[in-house]
Amino acid sequence: MFVMTRTLSPGFKSETGPYMEEREFDKLLVREVRSLVRSYGISYDPDEVVPSDNTLARDLWRAAYELVLRVGGYNMSTKRRLVFEEWEVKAALKNIPERIVIGCGEHARVMAHRGVEDPTEPLFETGPTGTVVSEDIYLETMISFAQEDFIDAVGSGSLATINGLEIKTGSPLEVMAATHIAAMNREALRKVGREGMHINDVAITTPWAKMAAVNEGWGIRRCDSMLVAQMIELKTSNEHLALAEFMLRHGIVVSNLMTPIWGGYGGDSPGTAVISLAEHIFGALVYGALKHFLSLTHYLTLNNTSRETLWVISTVGQAIAMNSKLISLHDCYSTFGPGTKEILYESAAGAVTSSVSGLHGTGIGSAGGKYPDHETGIEGRLYGEVAKHSVRFSRRDANDIVKEILKRYEGRLRKLRGAVPGKSIRELYDLRSVRPSREWLSMYSNVRKELIDLGIPLD
């Protein structure tokens, strides 16, 4: 197992860096992002959802790299900036491995840095991403994902209750929930005969509660990973730094979760792309992360499958692919929920975009992760299948296909202010057999045929 090393301790920097109020850091960030977007002439072309301009990817990387040097990051616990010298950034990027092994035994997979238009298939990790799952159907929900052939790893959902009691952030119940989630994930994998499959997180808010879920026998193993989040934007805390340190000491893969807001501090697509890319570099510096989850969110529709956010996904992926060894995954969030054609179109658009842009995949955050139990394995199946078959495309081909897919849901998307729930897994699956309903399977099959007609070689 490769363990990422870091140059200087971020804990040390968190105590010695320049003191700054959070609002002042935010102002500095906004000012520098705007300046860099202007300096490098980074612009968004709505007709180029998947751009083919290598110069754009190069300039975006340079802008993000410079942003890290100009701004650094912020520790919310100590109210100090984390400032980095260029030699530290270069050293951190140099020390990154180009490939890691996720999972155990016969179910292990090699996750490698991917290039633009890379012919090697991306890996896909999925589960009830960012979504609350009822405890009485948690196991069945995880099985709905783990049983799918196009899925290489599972990611857990969160729990609202444990033994019927509400789980409050920071309470001891979070520890109970973390251990229960880990054990249920392992049980789901056992039931489908994929015991060694990689688990990519324990979906609990408080970092120290995640530590309780580490156990080779029943919980998170060294062949698994957990997410360490960044707060919006380029921010961390002592708790998150401690979790990363714990994982590094135990040889567990650190996954860097970033959730930039489209329409937030970065403004529209160019600024959001610069911040998203800078947060990859920041995650390598402060967390020693080996995987990065590119998970931006549109401030109105809670997704990253709109035209303007897919552009961010593609340009950030290409900049990473061309200028670093970083391993990044598109963390797909949709506006529409299960049981709708639109979520399948959103999944397909995200899969094509990420695949040709040098990314792996994870998700699906159905309906923005807003509605409990609104996650199923079917939308994950579609994303994984489309992503793996899209390696045959050039960026230009992918751009044409994605624009055609967008026509099938973009009109509704523009009229929305929020997510559309669709139907819950209780309505779409027979939970005794954990098999999708005829209605849901028929909708999936029909959309799949449409995608084949558009030129995606799924047969």
Averaged pLDDT for residues 137-149: 97
Residue 318 lies in a domain: yes
The parent domain of residue 141 ranges over: 99-453
Question: For the segment 393-421, what is each residue's pLDDT rounded down to a tens digit?
Answer: 999 999 999 999 999 999 999 898 889 99
Position 50: which residue type?
A: V
Residue 369 lies in a domain: yes
Position 323: which residue type?
A: N
Position 250: which residue type?
A: H
Which pLDDT score is estimated for 6? 53
Residue 205's pLDDT band (cuts 50, 70, 90): confident
- Give the percent of the chain with pLDDT over 90: 93
Euclidean distance between CA atoms 217 and 456, whole angstroms: 42
Which pLDDT score is estimated for 4? 53
Phi, psi of 286 (to 5 degrees): -95, -25
Euclidean distance between CA atoms 294 and 361, whole angstroms: 9
Residue 177 lies in a domain: yes
**Residue 443 pLDDT greater than 90, yes or no:** yes
For the entire predicted model, the pTM comes to 0.96
Residue 389 lies in a domain: yes
Nearest residue to 177 via CA among 145, 205, 154: 205
Residue 319: is it exposed, middle or buried by C-beta count within 10 angstroms (0-12/13-18/19+)?
Answer: buried
Euclidean distance between CA atoms 325 and 292, whole angstroms: 12
**Residue 366 pLDDT greater than 80, yes or no:** yes
Which pLDDT score is estimated for 309? 98
**Residue 452 pLDDT greater than 70, yes or no:** yes
CB 316 within 8 A of CB 276: yes
Which pLDDT score is estimated for 10? 82
Position 16: which residue type?
A: T
Question: For the segment 313-333, what is each residue's pLDDT rounded down to a tens digit?
Answer: 999 999 999 999 999 999 999
Euclidean distance between CA atoms 382 and 447, whole angstroms: 9
At residue 395, the 3 state secondary structure works out as helix
**Residue 147 pLDDT greater than 80, yes or no:** yes
Q: What is the average pLDDT score of the chain?
A: 95
Looking up residue 428, the CATH number of its domain turns out to be: 3.20.20.460
**Residue 9 pLDDT greater than 90, yes or no:** no
Residue 80 lies in a domain: no
**Residue 8 pLDDT greater than 80, yes or no:** no
Which pLDDT score is estimated for 139? 97
Which pLDDT score is estimated for 316? 98
Residue 66 lies in a domain: no
Number of domains in the chain: 1
Euclidean distance between CA atoms 229 and 68, whole angstroms: 17
**Residue 12 pLDDT greater than 90, yes or no:** no
Averaged pLDDT for residues 209-221: 96
Residue 231 lies in a domain: yes
Residue 62 lies in a domain: no
Which pLDDT score is estimated for 170? 87
Residues 6+ apart with CB under 8 A from 259: 229, 230, 232, 295, 296, 297
